[in-house]
Amino acid sequence: MIVQPIDSGERSVSGVLLRLLNRHPLWGKPLKARILWLIARDATVVHGCLEATSIYGHPVAIWLHQQGHRVSIVSPVRIHGYAKSQLKRTKADRPDATLMAQFCRDLAPSPWQPSATEIQDLQDYIRRLDALTHRLSQEKNRLEITPAALKPDIDAHIAFLEGQVKSLKKRFHEPIQAHDPLKTQADLLVSIVDIGPDTAARLLAEIGDIKAFRSARQLDADAGLTPQEHSSGTSVQGKTRLCKIGNARLRKALYFPALAFLRCAPELQPWRDRLAAADKTKMAIIGAAMHKLIRIVYGVLSSGQKYDPSKLLPPRVAAAQP
């Protein structure tokens, strides 16, 4: 956890903390004790910077936010890129802490806002369901190569996990049903072709507040569904691919709905035929469908209107329809 002041008129707390992390006896003490140590020395506003590697830092981030401080949760890719730009060669806790302090000081990453309680509850349900499903799959695979003497133990564990998954699937829509705004948004998403209640719940959990995105392109970028060009002059002409720098869970939630969207939405067939005629590969068409689908999701959530298939038809075709 690295902190620095926001007000440039105050003394540099990042320099104080760099000394604290490397030489002060508070190193290794609870994180809140380090922050309070700084605040006691007139650092009334701090900027906390954490890597978005897991949820373990969220309690500290929430605590700092509640105290009125600025918090940034940053992708490890950005930290890694910054380390390369500084020609860093060492990987260890204290050098990493120093690096993050310098990153926070130099680039001043945007502040993080905690999710609404109902969104956080929905995320927790879905994360737990995914973890149980993954563990269940592991145990079923392990059963095939397990000695006969151990199979009863694994069978019992599989039965337990299946019961947990079944129970959680019944309950993970509770946060949506308990909050009318979420329920309204879920109904809007279900109006889109082949998006069911489970997919709608996952989309709401990963997108959060739709007002945080100023445009559909911002939501595209957050999901890692924007095109990534790879070319330079005349010598390098690589294929354009999906960027994939973004929320992998959101992309995963869109993959199978995009397949069904291509197959079951008649209004999409002219567009799909044009891509196929341009010799686009199957995966390129699926990626383009995911890109289009996330824009439709943004449209229905931001406008509050249900999905209208006619808006995807070419203008002449739409005009000819009754």
Question: With b meaning 16 or more CB within 10 Å and e meaning fewer, what string describes 62-76?
Answer: eebbeeebbbbbbee
Specify the pairing of strand 70-74 against strand 227-228.
unpaired
User: Which two structure tokens, joined as six digits, stand for 63?
Assistant: 């605590």
Q: Which residue has the higher pLDDT, 241 or 82?
A: 82
Check residue 3 and give its pLDDT: 45
Check residue 1 and give its pLDDT: 40
Check residue 288 and give its pLDDT: 92
Q: What is the DSSP letter of 306?
A: -
What is the arithmetic mean of pLDDT over 38-54? 71
Q: Which residue has the higher pLDDT, 3 or 154?
A: 154
Contacts of 265 (CB under 8 A, 6+ apart): 193, 194, 309, 312
C-alpha distances (whole Å) from 79 to each of 51, 101, 113, 145, 249 are 8, 10, 20, 41, 21
Check residue 25 and give its pLDDT: 43
Asked if 253 contacts 296 with a C-beta cutoff of 8 angstroms, the reply is: no
Q: Residue 57, class by beta-carbon neighbours within 10 Å (0-12 exposed, 13-18 middle, 19+ buried)? A: middle
Check residue 292 and give its pLDDT: 93
Identify the residue whose tokens are 């260890």. Answer: 92
What is the arithmetic mean of pLDDT over 294-322? 80
In this predicted model, what pLDDT tens digit does every residue of 126-145 receive, in sequence order?
999 999 999 999 999 998 88
What is the arithmetic mean of pLDDT over 5-29? 39
- CA-wise closest residue to 43 among 65, 19, 11: 11
Check residue 34 and give its pLDDT: 59
Q: How far apart are CA 22 and CA 28, in angstroms?
A: 10
% of the chain surpassing 70 pLDDT: 83
Check residue 37 and give its pLDDT: 61
| Gyration radius from the chain CA atoms | 24
Q: Residue 257, class by beta-carbon neighbours within 10 Å (0-12 exposed, 13-18 middle, 19+ buried)? A: buried
Check residue 82 and give its pLDDT: 93
CB-side exposure of 168: number of CA atoms within 13 Å?
19
CA angle 235, 238, 244 (to 5 degrees): 145
pLDDT at 168 over 80: yes
pLDDT at 6 over 70: no
What is the arithmetic mean of pLDDT over 86-105? 83
Check residue 181 and give its pLDDT: 92
What is the 3-state secondary structure of 271-290?
Answer: HHHHHHHCCCCHHHHHHHHH
Check residue 94 and give its pLDDT: 74
pLDDT at 249 over 90: yes
End-to-end CA distance of the chain: 61
What is the arithmetic mean of pLDDT over 38-45? 62
User: Which two structure tokens, joined as six digits, stand for 6?
Assistant: 């926001």
Q: Residue 236's beta-bridge partner residues?
A: 232
Give the least confident one: 1-15, 215-229, 253-267. 1-15
Check residue 19 and give its pLDDT: 43
